């Protein structure tokens, strides 16, 4: 075989950029060819600019959306890797050899991917700031503050509605911090039963309890050593567990369940919540001392309805993702669907938008995503219908509808907690109860 071992591949990586690259537009037309590409393949740049990519790269095995594929340039067998640069695609020649066979090329590509997989560290972060799409004022402000925060070791509290991308921000902050080469450990506090909190976060010694592994188990805090511990949905942590976590953060040491020796820890804490922790403190549901321990840097991630100008760029970003995943070549969103996307409120934020695009990409035919490619739930249809079609009612009816919608939305955002909902609506809790009864809301 051409290369059999991953370490042999690593020795050849320096050859990757020896043969140059070309850039093409969204329609597959060549925009630019590097001087070394033209020289190595005896191609005149002026002759090929504006031509289809298929006129330059022949015999493409696999479609354009593949990251790595086999092709022939000027009669020479090549492996080409595709990357994106703004609105362009860059085709970079990884290796060329007029004598090697196709199956040897495939072996080489597999070896490269295997080598990269072997280099990945467990518990590594997946996202960087490049994956945070959005140029709206609110998103730019959030990203700029996050970048400044990243260089510190202080605790960060990320707040924002569900689906806004709080974990993405957490991973991006970790990716440019001094701890970036160490683990990023994510913990969903809402998913850990209170009785398992200590063993999950602190770990346990052999035989600590019935059913424990005989070799014991390190907790999430130990796994995050010298790295970042991300505590998602921190507001859902049971009150008793909050005190135990606070002690670990203050003493900077952890003791496994069933253990007798404490271990010093060095971790950075990034916490996230979609609830008002300050209000929970007032209600006695969240420890004030833990709140102040977490409330060093407070970074609010804007909702999607607060950054409407990011909607279509995000939609196209997700189209690119599913183009690659489903081996499609969708390039456009028709005008009617664009208008729908811009008018919908997106209560599920970016998470909902991604699911929406994925739904359409499973059905779409051709290069344009349209309303016909999407199934609309009654809730989504009602959202748009109420906004654009419902005729004007009497003032009394309009006020009634507005109050019902506001109460339902507040209760949804508060996860059914009426005290929090009343606080969001800036009315007394008794008034909220009266209105719920008045409108017979459930």
pLDDT for 400 equals 80
pLDDT for 442 equals 67
Low-confidence ranges of the chain (pLDDT < 70): 1-18, 59-67, 86-87, 94-125, 375-393, 442
Total Cβ atoms within 10 A of residue 26: 11
pTM: 0.61
pLDDT for 431 equals 81
pLDDT for 108 equals 52
Token pair for 36: 């070394």
* Cβ pair 257, 205 in contact under 8 A: yes
Total Cβ atoms within 10 A of residue 74: 14
pLDDT for 389 equals 42
- Model confidence pLDDT, tens digit, residues 237-276: 888 889 989 999 899 999 888 888 888 999 999 999 999 9
- Cα 369 → chain centroid: 23
How far lies 7's CA from each of 19, 67, 95, 111, 415, in Å? 22, 22, 17, 9, 52
pLDDT for 392 equals 59
Where do the domains of the chain lie, and which CATH numbers do they carry? 6-119 (3.30.450), 129-300 (3.40.50.300), 304-388 (1.10.8.60), 395-438 (1.10.10)
How far lies 233's CA from each of 115, 167, 275, 303, in Å? 36, 10, 8, 17
pLDDT for 384 equals 46
* Residue in this structure with the two tokens 């925060």, named with its chain if needed: 149
Distance from C-alpha of 328 to C-alpha of 349, rounded to nearest angstrom: 25
DSSP of 35-103? HHHHHHTT--HHHHTTSBHHHHSEEEES-TT-SEEEEEETTEEEEEEEEEETTEEEEEEEEE-TT--HH
- Strand, helix or coil for residue 157: strand
pLDDT for 327 equals 84
pLDDT for 112 equals 52
């Amino acid at each position: 075989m051409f290369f059999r071992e991953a370490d042999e591949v690593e020795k050849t990586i320096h050859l990757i950029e020896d043969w140059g690259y070309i850039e093409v537009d969204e329609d597959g037309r060549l925009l630019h060819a590097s001087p070394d590409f033209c020289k190595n393949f005896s191609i005149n740049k002026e002759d090929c600019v504006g031509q289809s990519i298929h006129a330059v790269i022949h015999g493409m095995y696999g479609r354009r959306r593949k990251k790595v594929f086999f092709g022939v340039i000027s009669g020479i067998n090549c492996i080409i890797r595709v990357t994106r640069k703004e609105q362009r695609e860059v085709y970079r020649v990884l290796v060329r050899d007029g004598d090697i066979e196709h199956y040897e090329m495939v072996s080489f590509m597999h070896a490269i991917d295997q080598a990269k997989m072997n280099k990945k560290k467990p518990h590594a972060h997946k996202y960087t700031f490049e994956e945070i799409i959005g140029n709206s004022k609110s998103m730019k402000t959030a990203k700029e503050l996050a970048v400044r925060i990243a260089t510190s070791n202080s605790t960060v509290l990320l707040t924002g509605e569900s689906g806004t991308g709080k974990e993405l921000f957490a991973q991006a902050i970790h990716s440019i911090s001094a701890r970036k080469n160490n683990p990023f450990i994510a913990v969903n506090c809402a998913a850990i039963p209170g009785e398992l909190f200590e063993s999950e976060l602190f770990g346990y010694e052999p035989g600590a309890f019935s059913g424990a592994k005989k070799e014991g188990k390190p907790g999430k805090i130990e796994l995050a050593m010298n790295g970042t511990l991300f505590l998602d949905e921190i507001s859902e942590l049971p009150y008793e567990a909050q005190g135990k976590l606070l002690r670990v953060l203050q003493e900077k040491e952890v003791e496994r369940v069933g253990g007798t020796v404490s271990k010093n820890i060095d971790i950075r804490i990034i916490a996230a919540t979609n609830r008002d922790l300050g209000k929970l403190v007032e209600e006695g549901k969240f420890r004030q001392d833990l709140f102040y321990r977490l409330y060093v840097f407070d970074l609010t991630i804007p909702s999607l309805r607060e950054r409407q100008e990011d909607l279509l760029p995000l939609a196209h970003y997700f189209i690119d993702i599913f183009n690659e995943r489903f081996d499609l070549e969708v390039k456009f969103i028709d005008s009617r669907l664009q208008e729908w996307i811009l008018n919908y409120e997106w209560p599920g934020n970016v998470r909902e938008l991604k699911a929406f695009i994925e739904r359409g990409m499973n059905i779409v035919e051709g290069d344009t995503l349209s309303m016909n490619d999407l199934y609309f739930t009654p809730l989504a249809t009602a959202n748009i219908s109420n906004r654009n079609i419902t005729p004007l009612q009497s003032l009394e009816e309009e006020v009634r509808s507005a109050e019902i919608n506001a109460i339902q939305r507040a209760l949804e955002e508060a996860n059914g907690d009426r005290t929090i909902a009343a606080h969001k609506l800036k009315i007394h809790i008794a008034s909220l109860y009266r209105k719920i009864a008045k409108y017979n809301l459930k």
